Chains A and B, each alone.
Chain A
């Protein structure tokens, strides 16, 4: 049998112009109730203008065990950062 009140992760957009940010989790039987519970639990003080709720079971996460190998490809690409490049003296607007 499935869990009658599964776990949901809650994301809130604090103000227009900001992205949704994870604020916590809660239990609810369905999406509609999860949304209402999220409003009561995480926006009692006008902390948000928009809420997402996502079933925790629907999230695929990278595993901490493979963190090394998983994020390795980014480690040797310093040229992705602007600080990698030498800028000749006197160049403006670069």
Chain B
């Protein structure tokens, strides 16, 4: 944990999300410092001990006993999250060579590199649960594990890069900030790091849209078109409505998940409305209006049938994304082999020298 070395917390005002990340980080340290009851009285008490740690908002660490289902749920969730970061490099990578200026290009390159980094932090967190990197890669390439359905939509214009940063990364942050408080230590720590970096992503996207929305009428129309296409898929990122969500209850009890899909979706909508106003763009929802009673916006739900279709493999880009990932992995094989051969040769030379 050394995320605390990033800049000053004055940044925390930006939507309050960074502030929440800082708070989660402080809570993590504070919980670690709190004295908890000794150790499990006996082996029989392992489950009780696990429950007590979770109850006390302390962290479960890799070598602690944990229920098998907890381990499996975490592997599935963290792996899916890691795969999403890796596949998520593609829609934006699509625009690196066509970014409108050198500055935008350098920024986008750094952002896509960050996504790779996030994937690697998460793969490492999943590996602490006893699954190997090779297995994880195979699970993705064989289509046995999923990635976020949002990355199966195409990036048709430069404005889409802005919309991804603002909406997709924005939705991801709303989803992920509570994960900074997840009961599994390595996941929580990876999420704190990721969330801090994501906030740069969200702002760069917002800035792209802001520039376009205050440019020529054609540029503004392009920004509006991107918002029109990305709004509902972004809402769908929070998953099916609470009534239909299969994993939620148990994950809440284990403190892997802290808020329901619908709660997070609402939070996201409430944040976006004012941000869209400042952009001067219109959220494509005629049903969007402030509800004074609920102190929240009423909004139109995304098309969950479409979400299910995309998850099942029938989105606009599913096949293209997977084909690209498989090709990239296969094309990189010679690099991995060469590096391993070189390392082997060097190790052998060293041994000879020692022997001589």
Contact = CB atoms under 8 A, between A and B. Distances in A.
Interface of A: 4-5, 7, 12, 14-15, 21, 23-30, 33, 40-41, 44-45, 47, 61, 63-64, 67-68
A56 B221 CA distance: 53
A68 B37 CA distance: 12
B2 A14 contact: yes
B124 A44 contact: no
B63 A64 contact: yes
Nearest to A71: B39
B131 to A, nearest CB: 13
Contacts of A30: 339, 342-343, 346-347
A58 B238 CA distance: 41
A55 B103 CA distance: 38
A27 B2 contact: no
14 contacts: A4-B340, A4-B343, A5-B133, A5-B336, A14-B5, A26-B120, A40-B113, A41-B121, A44-B117, A45-B6, A61-B63, A64-B61, A64-B63, A68-B38
A-B complex: 5 closest residue pairs judged by Cβ atoms = A4-B340, A30-B343, A29-B343, A29-B339, A14-B5
A40 B113 CA distance: 9
A33 B133 CA distance: 17
A68 B42 CA distance: 11
A21 B5 CA distance: 12
A38 to B, nearest CB: 11
A90 to B, nearest CB: 33
Given A14-B2, A15-B5, A26 B340 contact: no
Interface string B112-132: 011001001100100100000
A33 B63 contact: no
Interface of B: 1-2, 5-6, 38-39, 61, 63-65, 110, 113-114, 117, 120-121, 124, 127, 133, 190, 197, 336-337, 339-340, 342-343, 346-347
Contacts of A44: 110, 113-114, 117
Contact of A7 (B5, B38, B127, B343): B127
Interface centre among B5, B110, B342 (most CB of A within 10 A): B5
Given A21-B1, A44-B117, 7 more contacts: A14-B2, A29-B336, A30-B347, A41-B121, A44-B110, A64-B61, A67-B39
Contacts of B133: 5, 27
A25 B110 CA distance: 21
A69 to B, nearest CB: 10
